[in-house]
Amino acid sequence: MDSQNLKQRTTGDSSVVTEETTAGDDKITKKSSRRGRARTALAKRGLRSLAVAVSVPVCLTLLAVYLGSSDTYKNTTASKPPFWFPPLWALHFTSTASAFLMGLAAWLVWAEGGFHASPTALYLYLAQLMLSLVWDPVVFGAGSSRAGLVMCMGMLGALIGCYQAFKAVNPIASEVIKPCLAWTAFLALVNLTLVYL
């Protein structure tokens, strides 16, 4: 068979075929543009909810540091803290960063619908948030290191519960919690040292 002698057969008018394909392309373009707009709107809503989920705990932590804390360790029982104690500005900065990470982890779980499926995760997150907000003013504002130690242990327990509950919903959220767990364990060590000084 000689392939050079083959010709394409067309039936009917070629302009009809072109109009039909153009109409089909317009339908596809309209559908894809609607999908694109829906995805853009969904992404904007997701970014807004992420901004709220992260900024609320960060702002509350900054407010608790501003209103209820002192600038030095003078209100605690330690007249001269050990050399390994972090300066208070570093302690406050790291507490704010921890609030940021916990807000991000909570948003990741919320986006998966985890708080509806497991309300315990929400209660643990809120307990951890409230204890972390109260810890700084109690220890550094009021100078009550024993009460702060109890709160710190409660924070650690709530974080471990959050880690387990978040891991069941979104493993990435549980990975985000790990630095917060390490930081809270360090805070418990600092607080325990303040109790014994």
Q: Is residue 181 part of a domain?
A: yes
Q: Is residue 155 part of a domain?
A: yes
The CATH number of residue 161's host domain is 1.20.1260
User: With left for phi above 0 and alpha for psi between -120 and 50, is residue 143 left, alpha or beta?
Assistant: left
pLDDT at position 28 is: 59
Number of Cβ within 10 Å of residue 29's Cβ equals 10
Q: Is residue 165 part of a domain?
A: yes
Q: Is residue 114 part of a domain?
A: yes
Q: How far is CA 182 from CA 44, 127, 148, 173, in A?
A: 33, 18, 17, 15
Q: Is residue 104 part of a domain?
A: yes
Domain count, the chain: 1
Q: Is residue 7 part of a domain?
A: no
pLDDT at position 83 is: 74
Q: Is residue 37 part of a domain?
A: no
Q: Is residue 109 part of a domain?
A: yes
What is the enclosing helix (H) or strand (E) of 137? none
Domain with 87 in it: 50-196
- Do 60 and 133 meet the contact criterion of CB atoms below 8 Å apart? yes
**Which of 137, 145, 136, 132 shows the shortest CA–CA distance to 81?**
145
The number of C-alpha atoms within 13 Å of 55 and in the hemisphere containing its C-beta is 6
pLDDT at position 185 is: 93
pLDDT at position 116 is: 81
**Which of 197, 89, 70 shows the shortest CA–CA distance to 139?**
70
What is the full per-residue pLDDT of the chain (197 aa) written as tens digits? 555 655 555 555 554 444 555 555 555 566 666 666 666 655 567 788 888 889 999 999 999 888 876 655 555 555 566 777 788 888 889 999 999 999 999 999 988 887 888 888 899 999 999 999 998 888 877 878 889 899 999 999 999 999 999 998 889 998 999 999 999 999 999 888 888 87
